[in-house]
Structure 1
Amino acid sequence: MNMTPDIAPVVFIIFNRPDLTQRVFDEIARARPKKLFIIADGPRETRADDVEKCQATRAVVEQVSWDCEVFRNYSEENLGCRKRISSGLDWVFSLTERAIIVEDDCLPDQTFFHYCTELLEVYKDDERIGSINGSNMTHGRVTVADSYYFSRYPFIWGWATWRRVWENYDVTISNWPSLRETDWLSTVAYPEEFAHWINAFNQIHDKGLDAWGYQFVFMMWLQRQVSIQPRTNLISNLGFRSDATHTAGTSDVADLPREPLTFPLKHPKPLVLNSEADKIYTKEHCFREVRKRGIKRQLQKIASWKYFSGK
């Protein structure tokens, strides 16, 4: 197995769950990155137990037992997901050109770190690529010969990106009011998911929804960028439980098994979107109404778009 020896800088986002933080941190420690950035939110005033939990969580990441340069960005007040993660990543990318990002409930397979590191180098100057995903939510229903494929969707349960991408991030999605009056959404999304994304972008822009991931999708679509998707699932989200901020319920993508990639990686050519995989994600996670008639035609149309030229 020929894997990248030196792992790219790793960002670890933590809050108030020391047990999950320990499990994920153990995997980071196994990967032994030379640079580690830690972003921590502060305790909520409305939760008295947050002070102790945040302290216990921060104590976990003091256990750096390998040769590593550690950077810490801790907030003493609670900023919430929207402000804490966006401001934390602003800080990260002011200090590094590339990074692998993991949150406290996203348990990575060890090959995830090597896969991200290699592809951060391979695609560092390719403006068509916006992010590298660790998750694969197709439940094994999409088979490809290569180690990864390309998707319109960035998944943020373990991912990687570059400064050149993050510098376009706008937490307020200020362009949305003008774009929603045009047919822009029809150039980047399937008709069946329009309602989902219109609602999400309205909630972000008009109501200040405490989230940051929708903005990343918006930014990538605005830039006509796509994500890299691993052939196997490399991340298990452990956070679907009662103390979660956004994943307190149950889900068929909770605790997905991890399956390591094999090396050396086999790179796909040319750069073509995998419409089969995107169809699965769209139908199972974005549809408000699934309209069966016309889906195949729309998929064929989108797969043939001059997406990367911005036309």
Structure 2
Amino acid sequence: MKDYQTKSPVLFLVFNRPDTTNLVFEEIRGAKPAKLYIAADGPRAGRENDAQRCQETLAIVKNIDWDCEVKTLFRENNLGCKNAISSAIDWFFDNEEEGIILEDDCLPAKSFFYYCDTLLAKYRFDTRIRHIAGCNLQMGTKWGNDSIYFANQTHVWGWASWKRVWKDYDKDLKAYHENEVEEIFSNIFTDKLVIETWANIFKEVKAGKIDTWDYQLALINYFNNSLSINPNVNLIKNIGFREDATHTFNAESAHANLPLEEITEITYPKYVLPQKKADYAPLIHEFNLVARWKKHNSLKRRFKRWFKERFNS
């Protein structure tokens, strides 16, 4: 995969981290996309060194030395994570039918581009499939014997998709209502704590309490009974777990700097069905489920003892 040249357009999302940007840009340079879209949010007001770091980042991504059609969307003012990224992806899919999206902290394996190209073409018109994820957060667990598996969860640490999917994106979730979602999630998950957590995330995103763009994509894909393609090895290393991150602050996270692997040949599962247990694996970490299960079960036992003592004595 060393000399593989990607066939798909690539959108590169950057901001103010020249060091991580440089590492990811070098992998994009190695893949030599014929079309490269670069979107950058502007510096934040009142943040020391932000303007300088943004300029250093732009200097890196302007250094294109291969035959490439380049389109840029450089903001002078800061829009924030939610608006900057979602509008950049709008811009990308206004111009392209499909493509690959990388953020400045998502370091791809060499075969990530081959993987995305192959799957974008194979499932181009298969509306069951809405998302192609590059990362694998299963901590070594394999789901079947093939290169990929299907699941319902949407991971965006290096991904690919189609305009046909993004047209449904709704950054403010205007089409959906709070009083409906808990019942909807009970059709997707069986664990009460997972259902409650997703319903709460929905409410906070809709209320504008979370400045992000990716929960909306995940929620809308759930609501459309989406299948996501996931690699059975990890093709994306998130190198952005640190203090200056937007959301991934904890450098000790189990998902920080996961080692990269490679796919040399893509084989496909016989059955196009979600691996439901695979969706729970990253949520156990993200939603702190083990500790919450223990607390929940402890409270249930205490309630049962109280009920027995109160009404059976």
Question: What is the TM-score when the length of structure 2 is the normalising length?
Answer: 0.88
Structure 1 distance, partners of 2:184, 2:18, is 43
Q: 1:290 aligns with which of 293, 296, 299?
A: 293
User: Which string of whole-angstrom CA distances, capped at 9 and with x for unpartnered residues, describes residues 175-207 of structure 1?
Assistant: 332553661111123423122212211111013
Residue 144 of structure 1 and its aligned partner are, at CA, apart by: 2.5
> What residue is the counterpart of 2:141 in the other structure?
141
CA contact (8 A) 1:11 1:39 kept: yes
Tell me: CA distance 1:286–1:151, structure 2 relative to 1, closer, same or farther (3 Å): farther
Q: Supply the distance in 1 between the matched residues of 2:17 and 2:181 (Cα, whole angstroms).
A: 42
**What pairs with 1:242-261 in structure 2 (closer than 5 Å)?**
242-250=243-251, 251-261=253-263
What secondary structure sits across from 1:11 in the alignment? Answer: strand
Q: For residues 152 and 145 of structure 2, what CA distance do their matches in structure 1 show? A: 19
Cα distance, 1:4–1:117 mapped onto 2, change above 3 Å: farther
Cα distance in 2, alignment partners of residues 90 and 54 from structure 1: 22
Deviation of 1:267 (Å): 1.5
> Following the alignment from structure 2 to structure 1, what is the Cα–Cα distance between the partners of residues 143 and 8?
28
Which residue does 1:73 correspond to in 2? 73
> In the alignment, which residue of structure 1 is the partner of 2:12?
12
The answer to whether the 8 A contact 2:182-2:196 is kept is no
Alpha-carbon distance in 2 for matches of 1:181, 1:20? 37
**Alignment-derived partner of residue 35 in structure 1:** 35
Instruction: Deviation per CA, 1:119-159: give whole Å up to 9, x if none.
Output: 00000111111110001011112252111000111111000
- The alpha-carbon distance between structure 1 residues 292 and 50, as it changes in their structure 2 partners (threshold 3 A), is closer
Offset at residue 286 of structure 1 (A): 3.1
CA RMSD of aligned residues (A): 2.2
Share of identical aligned residues, percent? 40
CA contact (8 A) 2:2 2:110 kept: no
- 8 A contact 1:93–1:163 mirrored in 2: yes
Q: Do the aligned partners of 1:196 and 1:287 also contact (CA within 8 Å) in 2? A: no
Q: Distance in 2 between matches of 1:14 and 1:2?
A: 24
**2:259 aligned counterpart, secondary structure:** coil
Segments of 5+ residues of structure 2 without an aligned counterpart are 297-313
Q: 1:300: which partner in 2?
A: none
Separation in 1 of the partners of 2:61 and 2:33?
14
> Equivalent residues in 2 for 1:1-311 (5 A)?
5-178=5-178, 180=180, 183-191=183-191, 192-250=193-251, 251-263=253-265, 265-286=266-287, 288=289, 289-290=292-293
The CA deviation string for residues 72-102 of structure 1, in whole angstroms up to 9 with x for no partner, is 0111110001000011110000000001000
Q: Do the aligned partners of 1:131 and 1:160 also contact (CA within 8 Å) in 2?
A: yes
Whether the 8 Å CA contact 1:7–1:31 is kept in 2: the answer is no
Residue 70 of structure 1 aligns to a residue whose secondary structure is: strand
- Residues in 2 aligned to 1:107 and 1:185: alpha-carbon distance in whole angstroms: 32
Q: How many residues align?
A: 293
Structure 1: which 5+ residue stretches go unaligned?
A: 294-311
Question: Take 1:272 and 1:254, find their aligned partners in 2: how far apart are those partners?
Answer: 29
What SS does the corresponding residue of 2:186 show, helix, strand or coil?
Answer: helix
Q: TM-score when scaled to structure 1?
A: 0.89
Say whether the 8 Å CA contact 2:172–2:205 is kept in structure 1: yes
After alignment, is 183-192 or 37-46 more displaced?
A: 183-192
1:181/1:252 Cα in 2 relative to 1: closer, same or farther (>3 Å)? closer
Amino acid across the alignment from 2:95: L
CA distance in 1, matches of 2:260, 2:27: 13
Correspondence for 1:305: none
